[in-house]
Amino acid sequence: MSAPSPNSATDKPAVECEGGTNPSSYVLYDSSIGFCGQGVQGIALAQAQGMSPPSGDIVQVLEALPDAADPYWTTVAGVCSHARCEANYGTPADPRDGRDFTIDTAYEDRLVLQPLPARGNSGAPLACCFPYPISYTVRAGKQWLVTGSASGYQHHEIPDPTAPNRSTARCILSCDPSIQLRNARAVELSRTTVDPKTGASMPTVVPKYDDDPGKGVFRNAQIRFVLWNPVDCPPSGCQPQVRDTYFSFVETGGFVAIEAGLSTLPVMLQSIRFIRGIDQLAIPDSVSQGLMLFDLGLLSSNGVRVFN
Q: What is the pLDDT of residues 97-147, one digit of tens each?
A: 889 889 999 999 999 888 776 666 677 888 889 988 889 999 988 888 899
Phi/psi at 137 (5° precision): -140, 160
Q: Which residues of 150-168 are buried (b: 16+ CB within 10 A; e: fewer)?
A: eeeebbbbbbeeeeeeeee
Size (the chain), residues = 308
Contact at 8 Å (CB) between 4 and 133? yes
Instruction: Name the more confident of 5 and 298.
Output: 298
115: buried, middle or exposed (CB in 10 Å: 19+, 13-18, 0-12)? buried
> Coil, helix or strand for 298?
coil
Calculate what percentage of the chain has a pLDDT beyond 90. Answer: 24
Calculate what percentage of the chain has a pLDDT beyond 70. Answer: 76
| Cα end-to-end distance, the chain, whole Å | 55
Q: What is the pLDDT of residues 191-242, one digit of tens each?
A: 777 777 887 777 777 777 665 555 678 888 888 888 887 665 655 566 656 7
pLDDT at 1: 44
| CA quadruple 160, 166, 171, 176: dihedral sign | positive
Average pLDDT in the chain? 80
Contact at 8 Å (CB) between 47 and 108? no
User: In sequence order, what are the beta bridge partners of 41?
Assistant: none
Residue 16 has pLDDT above 50, yes or no: yes
Q: pTM for the whole thing?
A: 0.73
